[in-house]
A and B are shown apart, each in its own frame.
Chain A
Amino acid sequence: MSVNAKPLPPINPDTQPFWDGCAQGRLLLQRCGDCGHLQFYPRMLCAACGSRTLDWAESCGRGTVKTFTIIRRAVSAAFEPDVPYVVALVELEEGPTLMSNIIGCDPAVVAIGQPVRVTFETRAESVAVPQFEPMP
């Protein structure tokens, strides 16, 4: 990988199904078979009850911007062409929060509480990263 490429997620066996979902355009959450808790990021145990019985559930992909920033100084050369770019925390309708960029709009229009929806950015062969864009 070139030093100028954006980082790829170091996928591991615990998270492989999540990233497989992304590659197919589906945003997957984990759902606890015992207590019904929905969680992100994917992990070994239910964060609510400790159960090992976890399954996958597809998120509707809609959420709201919980907070955000506009990055004016890129973290590395790979992100320099994107400056200024938005990094946000997005709260999904199902409850869990995840980090994302907000893409497809002028950073100046992004606001806390703004409705957004998921889209997927292909970063390598069979690796897609969830991204969010303003709801049309």
Chain B
Amino acid sequence: MAKSHSLRGQVAIVGVGDTEVGKVPELSATGLCIDAAKRALDDAGLTKSDIDGLVTCNSMAEPHMYHAEAMAEHLQIFPSYCVSAGAGGGTTFAVLYQAALAILHGICNRVLISMADSLRTGLTREQAMVMQSSSGHPQFETPYGATVPGYYALIANAYMHRYGVSAEQMAAVAVTARAHAALHPGAQMRTPLTVEDVLASRMIADPLRLLDCSLVSDGGAAVVLARAEEAGEGPHQPVYLLGAGEGHGHEHISQAENLTSSHARQAGERAYAMAGLGPQDIDFVELYDCFTPVVLIELEDLGFCGRGEAGAFVAEGHTRLGGTLPMNTHGGLLSHCHPGNPGAMFALTEAVRQLRGEAGERQVVDAETALVHAQGGILSSHCTAILGRGR
């Protein structure tokens, strides 16, 4: 039996940093990774000599065989814990609690997690498309010519067919994300959208339209993690890790046991158990919105809605700022930015800013507890983290 309660409140995020996002041609993917790292260190009131743990993820635009080691060299730090995480979008929060374990077990004292990529200007559209769709099984999927939107469309179609969720309800996810991005000065896409705009956008892979799909971006974000006892020494309110959990189903969508729910459920249950909390205790959520229907399945898997009910929940406005469960308050991957594997890092830095009370116009009133969720592959690998102002 895992002693999963041991992590609750033991480590805190003491620094966060986001680079410019969208089109950032003046920085390489490496440059973005270092820029994010420097911003997070500055935010934490620390210097690179205070860091003895480093976690990164590889870049598609500028890959390094040993990415974290290359970034350590670039920064000239000499960590006792150094790892490049590589399980797609879901890795972000998985490395968060793995880094927490490294701190708790005395492997290192402070971990810098920095992830960035240049999918927008560092690759051609065709390179980005082929590289991302290489997640398909090389023998049993790739020969059929599906794109990443195509793989997710298989899920979207099954979900709509099973529950009667409408295109309008899916579109409401994109509209909500855009309304929140409009309040974020750094977001890539800030012009408000209507449901009609989404439905009028070009069909990419039925039933997914262009505006059901997330952005392609340059950008990076970083956090600094420290022992809870030392977290109060910094300039900001520490944000504590209360719970985390992973869930892994299939890797390839053709092997999925279920097309309308995912192992987000197991990830969420594990995170709730560690935190000693449930969905009713969560003030706001930052969910992985690579495509609009993914958010709906996550809302159901994570216990916020019954099966097939998330479409109506979002369309009724419950996930807007001021609603019962504000969601993707920075605009998410749909409107803030999506630089690939680092995408969910921005959900993490946003959750920290909300919990510090620094989110300005888009601040969730009295935000005490947040749930962030990321997934990688095609609804394959999941990690949920629960964060709070208090321990």
Residues of chain A at the chain B interface (Cβ within 8 Å): 6-12, 15, 40-41, 66-76, 78-79, 82, 85, 87-89, 97-101, 112, 123, 129
For residue B141, CB closer than 8 A to chain A, the reply is yes
Alpha-carbon gap, A98 to B139, bound state (A): 11
Q: Would A66 and B158 count as touching, CB distance under 8 A?
A: yes
Contacts known (A69-B205, A79-B145, A97-B254); A10 close to B139, Cβ less than 8 A: yes
For residue B28, CB closer than 8 A to chain A, the reply is no
Minimal Cβ-Cβ distance residue in B for A90:
B254
Q: Would A67 and B157 count as touching, CB distance under 8 A?
A: yes
Contacts known (A9-B139, A66-B259, A112-B161); A72 close to B203, Cβ less than 8 A: yes
Pick the contact of A100 from B144, B202, B253, B259 — CB < 8 Å? B144
Q: Would B144 and A68 count as touching, CB distance under 8 A?
A: no
- Shortest Cβ distance from residue B39 to the other chain A in the assembled complex, whole angstroms: 35
8 intermolecular pairs with C-beta atoms under 8 Å apart: A10-B139, A41-B140, A69-B146, A69-B153, A69-B156, A69-B205, A75-B150, A101-B145
- Shortest Cβ distance from residue B87 to the other chain A in the assembled complex, whole angstroms: 21
Contacts known (A72-B205, A75-B130, A97-B254); A129 close to B158, Cβ less than 8 A: no
Q: Would B139 and A68 count as touching, CB distance under 8 A?
A: no
Q: Would A73 and B204 count as touching, CB distance under 8 A?
A: yes
Question: In the assembled complex, which residues on chain A have CB atoms less than 8 Å from the CB atom of B140?
Answer: 9, 40-41, 98-99
For residue B106, CB closer than 8 A to chain A, the reply is no
Question: In the assembled complex, which residues on chain B have CB atoms less than 8 Å from the CB atom of A41?
Answer: 137, 139-140, 255
Alpha-carbon gap, A40 to B137, bound state (A): 13
Q: Would A75 and B259 count as touching, CB distance under 8 A?
A: no
Alpha-carbon gap, A67 to B208, bound state (A): 14
- Shortest Cβ distance from residue B156 to the other chain A in the assembled complex, whole angstroms: 8
Question: In the assembled complex, which residues on chain A have CB atoms less than 8 Å from the CB atom of B147?
Answer: 71, 73-75
Q: Which 10 A-B residue pairings sit nearest by Cβ, starting from the closest?
A: A69-B153, A9-B139, A79-B145, A67-B158, A99-B254, A70-B206, A87-B146, A69-B205, A75-B147, A67-B154
- Shortest Cβ distance from residue A57 to the other chain B in the assembled complex, whole angstroms: 18
Minimal Cβ-Cβ distance residue in B for A85:
B145
Alpha-carbon gap, A66 to B154, bound state (A): 9
Q: Would B259 and A87 count as touching, CB distance under 8 A?
A: no
For residue B155, CB closer than 8 A to chain A, the reply is yes
Q: Would B130 and A6 count as touching, CB distance under 8 A?
A: no
Contacts known (A66-B259, A67-B155, A75-B129); A7 close to B143, Cβ less than 8 A: yes
Contacts known (A101-B144, A101-B145); A87 close to B157, Cβ less than 8 A: no
Listed residue (B146, B205, B254) with the most chain A CB atoms within 10 angstroms of its CB: B254
Minimal Cβ-Cβ distance residue in A for B146:
A87
For residue B133, CB closer than 8 A to chain A, the reply is yes
- Shortest Cβ distance from residue A123 to the other chain B in the assembled complex, whole angstroms: 7
For residue B142, CB closer than 8 A to chain A, the reply is yes
Q: Would B154 and A89 count as touching, CB distance under 8 A?
A: yes
Question: In the assembled complex, which residues on chain A have CB atoms less than 8 Å from the CB atom of B149?
Answer: 73
Listed residue (A41, A67, A74, A100) with the most chain B CB atoms within 10 angstroms of its CB: A67
Question: In the assembled complex, which residues on chain A have CB atoms less than 8 Å from the CB atom of B207?
Answer: 69
- Shortest Cβ distance from residue A128 to the other chain B in the assembled complex, whole angstroms: 11
Question: In the assembled complex, which residues on chain B have CB atoms less than 8 Å from the CB atom of A8?
Answer: 143
Alpha-carbon gap, A86 to B149, bound state (A): 13
13 A-B pairs besides A40-B140, A89-B253, A129-B144 with CB distance below 8 A are A6-B143, A6-B145, A66-B158, A70-B206, A74-B147, A75-B130, A75-B133, A78-B145, A87-B150, A99-B137, A99-B141, A100-B144, A112-B158
Q: Would B203 and A99 count as touching, CB distance under 8 A?
A: no
Q: Would A99 and B146 count as touching, CB distance under 8 A?
A: yes
Which residues of B from 248 to 303 have beta carbons under 8 Å from A? 253-255, 259
Question: In the assembled complex, which residues on chain B have CB atoms less than 8 Å from the CB atom of A40?
Answer: 140
Alpha-carbon gap, A89 to B126, bound state (A): 25
